[in-house]
Amino acid sequence: MNIKDWADSDRPREKMIAQGKGALTDAELLAILIGSGSANESAVALSQRLLASVNHSLTALGKQTLQQLMSFKGIGEAKAITILAATEIGRRRAAETPEPLPKIGSASNVFSLMQPLIGDLPHEEFWVLYLNNAHRVVHKARISAGGITHTTVDMRLLFRIALEQGATCILPVHNHPSGITTPSKEDVEITQEIKTAGKTLDIQLLDHVIVGEHEYTSLLEKGLI
């Protein structure tokens, strides 16, 4: 049976979309890379055979030469090059020393992190820092960009990203192009809306920081949260 005839839940690409990359077997991941099998063999079956030839070791697979891979029935030059490129990316990734995630201990940390991005923009942008339990930033995202005086905030997008990133805390940040970081009535209202929505999802609002070119204001420090 060809992969296109399988149930959606069993197709590698569809399975990744529905269940995430961690749900796929090594053979299914390899099948996505090589793209196709043959008239008599699916890409997954071909991948299973290839992995079996190296005792199901990804490390051993990565040590294969271009010629060794091409000698395997069903693997041509293009597929062999794709496999080698993927295993080389994996090797380089394993060799990297990951940079420590920025830790947010105060509003000044937020200012240091975000001022270079939005501190001197001529228009307003609304960003959110997504943090883990240790208050380290696992992701940051621009939610919206607006005019000189305001921008809109899509709550669904804000919290969808939080759930995708597995964040337990969020910290909104936006700039005031005027350089005056005094919170507006709208700033306070949107902060309370985010806080209320976060409680429903058990996602804590840590603060909301307004950034200017040379200064910042924390709504938490102002007692507005």
- C-alpha gyration radius of the chain: 24
Number of H helices, E strands in the chain: 9, 6
**Which homologous superfamily is 107-218 in?**
Cytidine Deaminase, domain 2 (3.40.140.10)
pTM strictly above 0.75? no
143 near 154, Cβ under 8 Å?
A: yes
For residue range 6-20, what is the model confidence (pLDDT) as tens digits?
554 568 888 888 888
Q: Which two tokens stand for residue 60?
A: 């051993």
| Amino acid in position 21 | K
Task: Say how far apart CA 6 and CA 100 lie, in whole Å.
Answer: 42
Domain positions in the chain are 3-95, 107-218
Which range, of 8-17, 128-137, 138-147, averages the lowest pLDDT? 8-17
Residue 123: beta bridge partners?
Answer: none
For residue range 157-166, what is the model confidence (pLDDT) as tens digits?
999 999 999 9
Tell me how crowded residue 119 is: count the other CB atoms within 10 A of its CB: 18
Q: Which two tokens stand for residue 178?
A: 């005027």
Task: Say how far apart CA 76 and CA 81 lie, in whole Å.
Answer: 9
